């Protein structure tokens, strides 16, 4: 073998100490374990989804059941189901007892419907946004900026949901749960006293507007969203005795927005859209509002501490893949308002990680 060939053969070994048997340090091993847990995050998410989608948490509400009993009740393959349940027990979602019996922990209780702080609808939300197929083209998404859902299905999220009523219903359930958790802090934490009428733009079934009206007796409200979004709102407002102070207006905020109100609320709306579209929505609100009116953008705030920011940044990645929108910094919201002919008045934190970004006409 020539010296040239000897050098070429030795090169890779010299470049990689691991190839000659170098042992990683304890810190390196711990780092590898942490990265591996991130890599396997999809496994955990899918296991949680199984429990939510099959109603297993509901079955365990009254006490322990064996894997065999759960498999029979859900028409599942016993051994396969057991392996999923065993993983969730190791993650603290379930507790495994003798004879392959399982009970819920406080984490597992969150996968039941109709319990405080339920996360069941959120456990199923990925599938409402095209499922894992939306994440498959993530390299193309990162290179082009085009949402993975659009790449995978040839249509945007709202077109996707319009063709799938069952998934649309699940999506709305998750949005309602999120809004219900947020609504009291907005209704009582912001001073609505200068206003007389507020429009909840893209307000869905009215969960937020109802909370605001309950907490502010002087206010009148207009719930504005697509016809499919407000279809069930009247029943809820009537049940709460709020219909005399609320008008339900179906419509499209890309076409026209009810005018003359003092306040326009955009809760979890702008993060669905890119900057240009968000400016268009804000400009429509500015043109519709009464003199001295304001827009209240209710969105997640990105914390300064990177560790605290993780939940919001995960949501930001979902926006990238599913909607083409984004979570934004305070400075980015200020720029949106400026581009829409308004100015940032203040940012008021409410239920973490949310805040109210208040915009005024200049």
Query: Would you please indicate which residues are annotated as catalytic (active-site) residues?
Result: 271
Give the 3-state secondary structure of 102-159. EEECHHHHCCCCCCCCCCHHHHCHHHHCCHHHHCCCHHHHHHHCCCHHHHHHCCCHHH
Q: Is the Cβ–Cβ distance between 298 and 356 less than 8 Å? A: yes
276-288 burial, b at 16+ Cβ within 10 Å, e below that, comes to eebbebbebbbeb
182 φ/ψ angles, rounded to the nearest 5 degrees: -90, -35
Backbone CA torsion sign across 247, 251, 253, 259: negative
Q: Is the Cβ–Cβ distance between 199 and 257 less than 8 Å? A: yes
Q: Is 205 left (phi over 0), alpha (psi -120 to 50) or beta?
A: alpha
Over the Cα atoms of the chain, what is R_g? 25
Q: Is the Cβ–Cβ distance between 171 and 131 less than 8 Å? A: no
297 φ/ψ angles, rounded to the nearest 5 degrees: -90, 115
The greatest distance separating any two alpha carbons of the chain, rounded to the nearest whole angstrom, comes to 93
Kindly state the helix (H) or strand (E) to which residue 65 belongs, with its residue range. strand 65-66
Distance CA 178, CA 121 (A): 10
Distance CA 166, CA 139 (A): 29
Distance CA 74, CA 76 (A): 5
Distance CA 145, CA 127 (A): 21
Distance CA 213, CA 219 (A): 6
Kindly state the helix (H) or strand (E) to which residue 66 belongs, with its residue range. strand 65-66
């Amino acid at each position: 073998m020539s010296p040239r060939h000897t050098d070429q053969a030795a090169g890779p070994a010299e470049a990689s100490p691991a190839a000659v048997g170098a042992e990683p340090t304890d810190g390196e091993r711990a780092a590898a374990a942490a990265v591996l847990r991130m890599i396997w995050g999809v496994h955990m998410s899918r296991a949680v989804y199984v429990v939510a989608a099959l109603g297993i948490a509901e079955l365990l509400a009254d006490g322990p059941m064996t894997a065999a009993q759960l498999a029979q009740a859900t028409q599942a393959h016993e051994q396969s189901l057991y392996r999923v349940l065993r993983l969730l027990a190791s993650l603290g979602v379930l507790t495994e007892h003798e004879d392959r019996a399982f009970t819920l922990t406080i984490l597992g209780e969150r996968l039941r419907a109709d319990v405080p702080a339920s996360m069941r609808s959120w456990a199923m939300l990925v599938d409402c946004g095209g499922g894992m197929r939306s994440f498959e083209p993530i390299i193309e998404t990162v290179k082009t900026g085009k949402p993975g859902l659009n790449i995978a299905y040839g249509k945007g999220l709202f077109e996707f949901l319009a063709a799938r009523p069952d998934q649309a219903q699940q999506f709305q359930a998750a949005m309602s749960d999120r809004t219900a958790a947020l609504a009291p802090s907005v209704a009582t934490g912001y001073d609505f006293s200068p206003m007389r009428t507020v429009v909840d733009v893209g307000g869905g079934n009215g969960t937020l507007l109802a909370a605001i009206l309950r907490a502010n007796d002087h206010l009148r409200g207009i719930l504005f969203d697509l016809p499919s979004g407000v279809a069930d709102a009247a029943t809820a407002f009537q049940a709460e005795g709020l219909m005399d102070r609320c008008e339900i207006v179906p419509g499209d905020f890309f076409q026209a927005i009810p005018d003359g109100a003092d306040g326009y609320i955009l809760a979890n709306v702008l993060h669905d859209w890119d900057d240009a579209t968000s400016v268009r929505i804000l400009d429509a609100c500015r043109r519709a509002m009464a003199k001295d009116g304001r827009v209240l953008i209710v969105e997640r705030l990105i914390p300064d501490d990177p560790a605290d920011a993780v939940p919001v940044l995960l949501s930001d990645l979902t926006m990238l893949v599913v909607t083409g929108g984004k979570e934004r910094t305070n400075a980015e919201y200020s720029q949106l308002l400026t581009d829409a002919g308004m100015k940032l008045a203040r940012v008021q934190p409410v239920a973490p990680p949310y805040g109210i970004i208040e915009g005024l006409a200049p």
